[in-house]
Structure 1
Amino acid sequence: MRVLVVTAVAAEAAAVVADAGPPGAAAVPLPGGYALTRTPDYDVLVGGVGPAAAAAATATALAVADTPYGLVVSAGIGGGFPPHAPVGSLVVSDAVVAADLGADTADGFLPVDKLGFGRTVHPSPAGLSALVAAALGAAHAPVLTVSTVTGSAARAAELARRHPRAAAEAMEGFGVAEAAAAHGVPVVEIRAVSNAVGPRDRAAWRIGEALAALRKAFQQLAPVLQEQP
């Protein structure tokens, strides 16, 4: 299976390709100034921060692909919802959810699909995402996409109330999923947890630990995906 992995920043992409086997990684320029890193296991794209940037980059890579991709993976570090996903753990999506796409009302938040426009959920392929989660020892649960990272206990509680099964939050997955859906390609999101969702406390972040977990995850993932048609 040919796999496109989309990260937000270069450090996440470096974790994905760190152990690329021979002949190693090769850079492939794409329109728009994007650069694809091609390895024997994955094509890896740094798409930028946030859902819009991620969607634009993913759509570009899919549109110009010389052969079709069988899977798109949105990957990187992110926040974890206690107790589902402690710091240093992994989360694999069973659904990618746009958690703040909608409208505030006097009666609370209304997602955009309840307003009659678009969608807010992209299910991940059930069998494949469960297989990936099992192989990585990861939580298999919804991953939320937000345009503003949660920085307060009140917002964390509100998201947990609206999405009680959610295990992680990040900023790119839904954009990647929208682009993948437009091209008819399934999507899975993989997040290594660097911090708890809640009050912003940079001293408590464990970015290095999360990047190491992400690197190990993609080492373990390669043989699993190679067995897929």
Structure 2
Amino acid sequence: MRLLVVTAVTAEREAAARGLDPAAPPTELTLPGHVLRRTGDGNAPGPLRADLLAAGVGPAAAAAAAGAALTAAALRGEPYHLAVAAGIGGGFAPNAPVGAVVVADRIVAADLGADSPEGFLPIDTLGFGRAAHACPPRLGTAVARALGATRASVLTVSTATGTAERARALARAHPDAGAEAMEGFGVAEAAAVHDTPVLEIRAVSNAVGPRDRSAWRIGEALAALQQSFCALRTVLEKGAPPPYD
């Protein structure tokens, strides 16, 4: 099985790589402007091979890098079976407190649209595209169960929330939200072009709201991310449920 993992920064990529294969020597492949880190074999039907990519911050960077990786794999005749947007992020209390892990059931573009006197209008309401991507339900449930994780929507934003007022507005608009991050929707858009299923996994390092860096738990969140990918590997190598439903 061939897996593409897209993070924002190298520390997240390395945490995921350690979870997938802690003993693997680093193997690198080049893309325009990026380097993929590869773990595993993946040439036979059983083994898991993962290509991990630190794409940069934000949905545009994530979409560009993920699209390049997906296209390169397709041109090699080795398309990915699953794409995973991953990293640390903010959590919406009480759905996902600091220390929790969130596995997305939907990846939502929370600030892509237009303002209006009646409030925010999502991009799909405007008729210009979709505002959310659904994640494979059986696979997502199996991964969340293996991780002891929360299954909830993950919001993609271009501007990270920094006030209580904005956090409340997002929670009202998306009461099922578990986490906020900045790359998932970009990865999902690129994956959709290639008809590739997509998941998002976020380890919660801080609460969505006022930015209090002293309260952030980045080291703990990266450790949780590593453990998440260890569990993800186990689920995928068992081969059930398939990641295509």
Which band: TM-score by shorter chain? Answer: over 0.9
Question: Residues 26 and 39 of structure 1 are in contact (CA less than 8 Å); yes or no, is this contact kept in structure 2?
Answer: yes
Q: Does 1:164 align with 2:165?
A: no
Question: Residues 17 and 25 of structure 1 are in contact (CA less than 8 Å); yes or no, is this contact kept in structure 2?
Answer: no
Is the deviation greater in 153-162 or in 215-224?
A: 215-224
Q: Does 1:149 align with 2:160?
A: yes
Distance 1:72 1:23 in 2: 20
Question: Residues 96 and 204 of structure 2 are in contact (CA less than 8 Å); yes or no, is this contact kept in structure 1?
Answer: yes
Q: Post-superposition, which runs of at least 4 consecutive aligned residues in structure 1 deviate over 4 A?
A: none
Distance 1:106 1:51 in 2: 27
**Sequence identity, in percent?**
62
Alignment deviations for residues 23-59 of structure 1 (CA, whole Å, 9 cap, x no partner)? 53300111x2211100014210111100000000000
Question: Residues 143 and 231 of structure 2 are in contact (CA less than 8 Å); yes or no, is this contact kept in structure 1?
Answer: no
Distance 1:25 1:43 in 2: 11
Is the deviation greater in 218-227 or in 159-168?
A: 218-227
Mark the runs of 5 or more structure 2 residues left unpaired by the alignment: 41-47
Q: Matches of residues 13-52 of structure 1 in structure 2 within 5 Å?
A: 13-19=13-19, 20-21=21-22, 23-30=24-31, 32-40=32-40, 41=48, 42-52=50-60
The number of aligned residues is: 228
Structure 1 residue aligned with 2:68, among 57, 60, 64? 60
What is residue 119 of structure 2 aligned with on the other side?
108
Q: Does 1:94 align with 2:95?
A: no
CA RMSD, Structure 1 to Structure 2 (Å)? 1.1
Distance 2:144 2:26 in 1: 26
Q: Matches of residues 74-93 of structure 1 in structure 2 within 5 Å?
A: 74-93=85-104
Alignment deviations for residues 84-133 of structure 1 (CA, whole Å, 9 cap, x no partner)? 11111100000000000011111110001101110100000111111111
SS in 1 for 2:4: strand
Mark the runs of 5 or more structure 1 residues left unpaired by the alignment: none
Is the deviation greater in 81-90 or in 10-19?
A: 10-19
What is residue 184 of structure 2 aligned with on the other side?
173
What is residue 218 of structure 2 aligned with on the other side?
207
For normalisation by structure 2, the TM-score amounts to 0.91
- 1:79 maps to amino acid: G
Quote how far apart the aligned CAs of 1:68 are: 1.3
Distance 2:148 2:82 in 1: 20
What is residue 11 of structure 2 aligned with on the other side?
11
- 1:96 maps to amino acid: I
Distance 1:23 1:217 in 2: 17
Distance 1:185 1:18 in 2: 24
For normalisation by structure 1, the TM-score amounts to 0.97
Question: Residues 21 and 39 of structure 1 are in contact (CA less than 8 Å); yes or no, is this contact kept in structure 2?
Answer: no
Question: Residues 39 and 51 of structure 2 are in contact (CA less than 8 Å); yes or no, is this contact kept in structure 1?
Answer: yes
Quote how far apart the aligned CAs of 1:227 are: 2.3
